[in-house]
Chains A and B, each alone.
Chain A
Amino acid sequence: MPPIIEIRNLSKMYRIGAHLHKDETFRELLVRTLRKPWVRRPSPLAEATGYSDDDSIWALKDINFDVEEGDVVGIIGRNGAGKSTLLKIISRITDPTEGFARIRGRLASLLEVGTGFHPELTGRENIYLNGAILGMRKAEIETKFDEIVDFGEIGRFLDTPVKFYSSGMYVRLAFAVAAHLNPEILVVDEVLAVGDLAFQKKCLGKMSEVSQGGRTVLFVSHNLAAVQSLCRKGVVLKEGRLVFNGGANDAVDHYMQMVSGPGETSHANVVDLSRAGTRNRKYRPLLRRLELLTDNGVPLLGGIPIGAPLKALIHFRLESPTPSFDVGLGFDNLYGQRIFSAHSAYEPKRVHEVREGEQVFVCEIPQLTLTPGEYKLVAWVEISGGVVDLVEDAARLTIGESDFYGTGKVPRSGTCALENHWRLQ
């Protein structure tokens, strides 16, 4: 039987210029043309296709691979590797510049949660609208309607406009619709990252149900644990090229080596804080580097299991002799809620001395008992109690599942796991 998806020499060029010209007005176009009248303005078509110049990038270049029917393929790669672009081409949202993809089956794509939701419409109305947008028939939505409502747990808010929903409810409803899609091929971009953890699990469960039903799934995720548990095959992209195609576990290994191997400018466990993350412009870039290690100083790759130790080295600079400074490290969930803050001021044995120049603060957390999922790290420096530098989303940390309690029960609900003891009296 021929593969359900065949991808041959698939390439996509973006003109970064084309993006910048988004708000170009006729006047600017005129000025541009008048300044260089001898340069023929390429037609918009040529700009997106054959036209090549300095401000163009190959988001994908010569991608070749096949997907067999029933395969669940994880697609991994760094930010900007071209994962979303690949999915967009396969789902026909954008055309490739070269090559082709042959698709033998009905395909549905989920590149974003709640695409086409309208805030003024009620949950009920949005189920229909969103279902139709994702490619469901009206009759199909009608038969699955109750199931969708149950799955989304929105019950009595069904006839409330979604603008009054909490963000959690909104996401749940959106997923509920998506989870009931019934195509032969399902293409999913990193959308699971926004749900709360319990709901993510539920969706993953639904998705593996889907894939057990012989459905073909292409799944993009930064959550390597999810890729490993959900996918059988894996594809690794790097700067628009396919660098690995094989089993999911091997793909994850390959990716981890890739991001930590020599020659890479930034290691997975060493983050250059002068560039990474987001820093408000009001701060001076004092933070230099963040290093994440497991116990015994082994570089942390991918993630750690729940309850494992974490050691963080925060490199920063003090511009003048400073007697009173502190460093903090925050753990936020993907909703941006602070789950836990580590702070040097919490250290009872902290000695205050005047320091200047390059410094390294070592933070040790003997047991990091956040529940499995992805967390964003926030690092900051304080001088005399005031924050002088702060980097949001400095690094991502994945907490994996483990037998934390020694009972085989993985603590998934809530935001953290604490030791608890029980006895019958």
Chain B
Amino acid sequence: MSQTFELVVKPRKGWQPLDFHEIWLYRELLGFLVWRDVKVRYKQTVLGGLWALLQPLAAMLIFTLFFNRLAGIQSNGPPYPLFAYAGVTAWTFFSNAVSASSNSLIGNQQLISKVYFPRIFVPMGAIGALLLDMLISLVLMFALLLYYRWPASLLLLELPVFMLGSFLAASGFGLILSAMNVRFRDVKYAVPFAVQMGFFVTPVIYPLNYIPARYRLAMSLNPMTGMVEGFRHSLLGTAAQWNVMGLSLAVSVLIFVTGLYTFRRMERLFADII
């Protein structure tokens, strides 16, 4: 027997830093949880992975028809469908990730109360499965670029930064909301509504320069403002607004850290009250 291994189970007080060693030890389980979510979704649906394409594609068509053709909203350069698709890709990931992760803990009650593993895997696993969707929908983005003969550029190299930013923002909200959901089931009902409102204060259907310049910084306190702009900037080469994107990135990081902190503080209660 390895005497090297020793663990003391005792009351924990205050904030616990993330245990990276433990997360490394359990890494395969995180993989399995993501795999489970993806697998189950593909089994229960006829279209499976196609949904990751259909959702943004349908949104693109509807937005183009109603907001562009009928309401006359113009993009800031690229063809409106491309403009909408890039924004929708970022926003769809964010909104699906926040909804899925905020319900993830209460959807895995049995796991939480019967086995030990890093709790953070539950909301993060839910988001991981949706990252895959975002990648699939980006593939179609490139097909659309070809179709509209819109040139991609080296700015593409910046895309991972904005993907990371979206991931951090979604995870931050997901961590806070999933933990609160264990205690207050209101969260379950409030999240879809809040996400819907969020859609309108994020420049998905309109370009940020529709907003008067003096409000733009305030808008970018919404982390997805900068991320949606960033997606368009790196995919379509629209003008960069670094103050907006920079502020949004900072907010994303802040939300993520807050989420981690809240989650770690509340997680020791999950098994008792879930």
Contacts and interface: CB of A to CB of B under 8 A. Distances in A.
B9 A19 contact: no
B70 interface: no
B265 interface: yes
Contact of A22 (B1, B40, B273): B273
B143 interface: no
B183 A44 contact: yes
Contacts of A261: none
Contacts of A27: 186
B185 A100 contact: no
Contacts of A133: 29, 32, 111, 115, 117
B269 A48 contact: yes
A118 B40 CA distance: 8
A49 B5 contact: no
Contacts of B5: 104-106
B11 A121 contact: no
Contacts of B7: 92, 102-104, 107
A198 B202 CA distance: 62
A115 B10 contact: no
A105 B2 contact: yes
Interface string A37-65: 00000001101110000000000000000
B185 A132 contact: no
Given A132-B29, A138-B28, A48 B268 contact: yes
Interface string B15-33: 0000000000000110010
B272 A94 contact: yes
* Chain B facing A: main interface SS: helix
A129 B37 CA distance: 11
B220 to A, nearest CB: 29
A111 interface: yes
B28 A95 contact: no
Interface string B212-251: 0000000000000000000000000000000000000000
B32 A128 contact: yes
A125 B39 contact: yes
Contacts of A98: 11
Given A23-B185, A24-B184, A112-B110, A90 B115 contact: no
A39 to B, nearest CB: 18
Given A29-B184, A44-B266, A121-B40, A96 B115 contact: no
A137 B269 contact: no
Contacts of B113: 93
B43 interface: yes
B198 to A, nearest CB: 20
B271 A94 contact: yes
A346 interface: no
A121 B36 contact: yes
A88 interface: yes
A18 interface: yes
Nearest to B30: A132
Contacts of B29: 132-133
A132 B40 CA distance: 17
B116 A91 contact: yes
B204 to A, nearest CB: 29
B232 to A, nearest CB: 37
Nearest to A22: B273
B272 A115 contact: no
B273 A21 contact: yes
B114 interface: yes
Most A CB within 10 A of own CB, among B10, B186, B274? B10
Contacts of A24: 183-184
Contacts of B40: 118, 120-121
Given A116-B110, A137-B28, A184-B1, A101 B9 contact: yes
30 contacts: A18-B269, A19-B272, A21-B183, A22-B273, A44-B266, A44-B269, A45-B266, A48-B268, A48-B269, A49-B13, A91-B115, A93-B112, A93-B114, A95-B11, A96-B9, A96-B10, A100-B10, A101-B8, A101-B10, A102-B6, A103-B6, A103-B8, A104-B3, A105-B1, A105-B2, A111-B115, A112-B110, A115-B111, A125-B39, A133-B115
Given A103-B8, A104-B7, 5 more contacts: A101-B9, A101-B10, A102-B8, A105-B2, A133-B115
> Considering the complex of A and B, which 3 residue pairs feature the smallest CB-CB distances, nearest first?
A100-B10, A132-B32, A92-B116
